[in-house]
């Protein structure tokens, strides 16, 4: 009690003084109130603070956990990594540390096996990208409810492990745990990423069977999934079936038609969307410009780009300029592509420069190619494919000295080309195939079939790219 009274006295003395908004002082007061079990006072101070750091969050969350107030502790912990007041990396590290402290307290109080505590810990580790610990907790749980499965699925999605999320979803169904709205929403994203038609159809059945017709976001995701899987007829059917079509569903369908080289259809859909009074955003414009690029619609792309800025009042971003560079590059209008890069008010991205370098390779413009390859190297991109692109350029010119310098640069920067990997879905299993890995079952039969296909390709008059073969041999 003496410490609490002393804390209140100090608190009163700094009101109106130069220390009133000193973060160090406020953190000390919050910690003092927590220590004296005055959690309500501490929380009021916490909520009223203009700034908070990891220490502030740590004190408040640990205070709740030490009193067994798990719901309040996890609610704060869930907010912590998302706050903009703390640097993202530091916030995540701080959240993991606080989360482990809570985990330790839960074990000490024999609460770690309680359903809500276990699920909250799995969700906490997942959101902090500490999926290893989350997975250990998941696998060591005697009983996993639907909430537990959802938390683990969300963890894999959070770290872009689409394959693992889909495999876990299949396992969940095999255990006769039926999904709810949260499950389907979580799994839709990785299935769209994998563009696996069987997963898409399976989830479509669940959306219909479980009565989710009124959930607009799910139907938007289905349109997106079918589009990314190249099943445009199915995507169009879902789109036509929807009671309410918004900007997202239209954009997904436009992007799908664009990827399939159906730029005219994409433009018609875009114009129909405008006629319906749906205003486009910057993502819609990327989809439309990309559709023009993939279909070689140069004039239409120029018109759309002009209308974007002048009519729709959407400021040109790097993504839009990249689409224009790709549009001009595919059409062989390399000077125009270079003008976009030179005249844009924004810093060009490494991907944009790589697009122009590749277009120059296709159309044989050595001058522009070398100039922008040099700029691409100066950006010190962390994308290995950009260095492979330049390596192929040096290889085609037989510049072995430059190729050797590039390899040294990649080594010094710690950049390595990730081995190519493909996934094949057969039955209920996903099979990964990786370059130079020959331990898979039936690999001899697969190789025999591939060599047979290669012979047929050569007999038909098609030959490999010698530049790339040469670069791979050197690298």
Q: What is the pLDDT of residue 464?
A: 62
The pTM of this model reads 0.66
Q: What is the pLDDT of residue 423?
A: 64
Angle at 243 between CA 239 and CA 247, to 5 degrees: 60
Instruction: Print pLDDT tens along the chain (475 aa).
Output: 555 665 566 556 555 554 455 677 777 888 878 878 788 888 888 888 878 877 787 778 778 877 777 677 777 766 764 443 333 444 444 556 766 777 776 777 676 677 777 777 787 787 777 788 888 888 888 788 898 999 899 888 888 888 888 889 989 988 999 888 888 888 887 776 776 677 778 888 888 887 787 788 888 988 988 898 888 999 999 999 988 899 999 999 999 999 999 999 999 999 999 999 999 999 999 999 999 999 999 999 999 999 999 999 999 999 999 999 999 999 999 999 999 999 998 899 999 999 999 999 899 898 998 899 889 888 888 788 888 888 888 777 778 788 788 788 878 777 776 666 676 666 556 666 666 555 555 666 677 777 888 888 888 887 665 555 444 444 4
DSSP annotation string for 22-75: -HHHHHHHHHHHHHTT-HHHHHHHHHH-S---HHHHHHHHHHHHHTT-HHHHHH
Q: What is the pLDDT of residue 334?
A: 95
Q: What is the pLDDT of residue 473?
A: 41
In angstroms, the CA 46 to CA 104 distance is 24
Identify the residue whose tokens are 């991109």. 381
Rg (CA), the chain: 28
CA nearest 294: which of 348, 333, 331, 250? Answer: 331
**Which of the 8 DSSP states describes residue 423?**
E
């Amino acid at each position: 009690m003496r410490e609490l009274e002393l804390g209140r006295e100090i608190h009163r003395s700094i009101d109106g003084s130069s220390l009133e908004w000193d973060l160090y002082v406020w953190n000390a007061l919050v910690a003092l109130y927590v220590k004296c079990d005055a959690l309500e006072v501490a929380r009021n101070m916490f909520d009223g603070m203009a700034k908070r750091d990891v220490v502030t969050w740590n004190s408040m969350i640990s205070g709740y956990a030490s009193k067994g107030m798990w719901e309040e502790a996890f609610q704060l912990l869930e907010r912590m990594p998302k706050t903009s007041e703390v640097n993202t990396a530091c916030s995540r590290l701080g959240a993991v540390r606080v989360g482990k402290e809570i985990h330790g307290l839960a074990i000490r109080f024999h609460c770690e096996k309680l359903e809500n505590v276990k699920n909250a810990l799995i969700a906490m580790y997942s959101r902090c990208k500490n999926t290893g610990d989350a997975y250990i907790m998941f696998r060591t749980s005697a009983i996993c409810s639907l909430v537990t499965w959802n938390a683990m699925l969300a963890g894999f999605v959070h770290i872009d492990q689409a394959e693992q999320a889909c495999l876990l979803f299949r396992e969940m169904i095999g255990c006769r745990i039926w999904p709810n709205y949260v499950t389907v929403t979580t799994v839709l994203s990785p299935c769209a990423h994998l563009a696996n038609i069987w997963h898409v159809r399976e989830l479509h059945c669940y959306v219909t069977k479980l009565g989710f017709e009124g959930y607009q976001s799910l139907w938007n995701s289905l349109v997106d999934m079918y589009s990314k899987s190249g099943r445009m007829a199915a995507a169009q059917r879902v789109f036509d079936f929807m009671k309410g079509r918004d900007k997202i569903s239209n954009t997904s369908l436009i992007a799908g038609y664009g990827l399939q080289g159906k730029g005219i259809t994409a433009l018609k859909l875009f114009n129909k969307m405008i006629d319906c009074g749906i205003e486009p955003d910057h993502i819609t414009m990327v989809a439309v410009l990309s559709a023009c690029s993939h279909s070689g619609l140069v004039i239409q792309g120029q018109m759309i780009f002009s209308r974007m800025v002048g009519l729709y009042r959407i400021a040109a971003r790097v993504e839009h300029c990249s689409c224009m560079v790709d549009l001009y590059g595919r059409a062989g209008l390399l000077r125009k592509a270079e003008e976009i890069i030179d005249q844009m008010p924004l810093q060009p991205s490494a991907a944009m420069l790589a697009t122009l370098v590749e277009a120059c390779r296709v159309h044989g413009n050595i001058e522009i190619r070398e100039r922008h390859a040099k700029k691409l190297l100066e950006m010190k991109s962390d994308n290995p494919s950009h260095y492979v692109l330049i390596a192929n350029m040096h290889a085609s010119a037989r510049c072995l000295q430059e190729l050797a310098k590039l390899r040294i640069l990649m080594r010094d920067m710690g950049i390595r080309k990730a081995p190519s990997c493909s996934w094949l879905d057969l039955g209920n299993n996903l099979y990964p195939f990786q370059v130079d890995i020959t331990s898979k079952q039936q690999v001899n039969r697969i190789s025999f079939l591939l060599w047979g296909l290669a012979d047929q390709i050569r007999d038909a008059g098609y030959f490999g790219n010698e530049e790339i073969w040469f670069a791979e041999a050197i690298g």
